[in-house]
Amino acid sequence: MASDVPPLVLDIDGTLTDEPGRLDPRAFDVLPSWDAPVVLATGKSFPYPVSLCHYLGLERNVVAENGGVVLANGEVTYTGDKERAQAVADEFVARGGDLGWGSFDDTNYWRETEIAVSLAADEKLLREVATEYEMDVIDTGYAYHVKTPGVEKGIGFKRLCETLSMDPDEFVAVGDSTNDTSTFGVVGQSYAVANADEAAKAAADEVLSASYMDGTLSVLESIQE
Ligand SMILES: O=C(O)COP(=O)(O)O
Ligand SMILES: [Mg+2]
């Protein structure tokens, strides 16, 4: 591998996974030996990317909860109004909505700055309630997220870069959805996988012809050449 590879900031779901969200095992072929920092930037709650770093043998440089939680150099920072997001969820349920995660809600169990809702839920009702509470709802293709306006992966990523004394412009980003557009806006080079939504495709410097991990690997392989 060339030693001058750029640092990476990678989305997880839809980018390192297959369509249902299972980690593509080829991540283990390329990420543990990547010769520059690898940041995982996800909408998932904090333990997911931290665990993934652990099992991939990566430094724990993580943006979780769409920018609500950031870990770099062992320092954790939080942004976002969890109470307000919870109030939206409570009101949504009070009006007959269902978050859709079943009896053990592992999607929100460790979530500290926002609330995620299943795509099977009543989107219209959720958006209605969120608007009343002046909260945003985004659809990542894997969940709806009720989040504080202004909390974004890209902003969290910039914070992470400050902690690491790195320039976001050095990074290459790969992602698949609207929650990656803010990351794409601050890195040097950004790629949307072919399965990406329209927002991600429009924001990326390049739209890949391959989907999911095939797309991500095509970028990583071309960088290494
Ligand atoms: O949590 C989600 O909804 C999507 O997660 P992702 O940002 O890693 O794609
Ligand atoms: Mg994604």
Residue 11 is among the residues annotated as catalytic for this protein: yes
127: left (phi over 0), alpha (psi -120 to 50) or beta: alpha
Domain boundary, last residue among 117, 147, 177: 147
Q: 98 with 40, same domain?
A: no
User: Is residue 13 marked as binding?
Assistant: yes
Domain that holds residue 31: 8-77+151-224
pTM over 0.90: yes
**108-161 per-position pLDDT tens digit:** 999 999 999 999 999 999 999 999 999 999 999 999 999 999 999 999 999 999
CA distances (Å), origin 36, targets 27, 59, 64: 15, 10, 20
Determine whether the shortest distance from the Cβ of 147 to ligand 1 is under 6 A. no
Which ligand neighbours the alpha carbon of 146 most closely? Answer: 1
Determine whether the shortest distance from the Cβ of 114 to ligand 1 is under 6 A. no
Q: 158 with 187, same domain?
A: yes
**34-55 per-position pLDDT tens digit:** 999 999 999 999 999 999 999 9
Which ligand neighbours the alpha carbon of 14 most closely? Answer: 2
Average pLDDT of the residues of the chain: 97
Helices 82-94 & 123-132, crossing angle to 10 degrees? Answer: 130
User: Is residue 105 marked as binding?
Assistant: no
Domain boundary, last residue among 147, 166, 192: 147
Interface confidence (ipTM) of the complex? 0.99
Q: Model confidence at 2, in pLDDT bands (50, 70, 90)?
A: very low
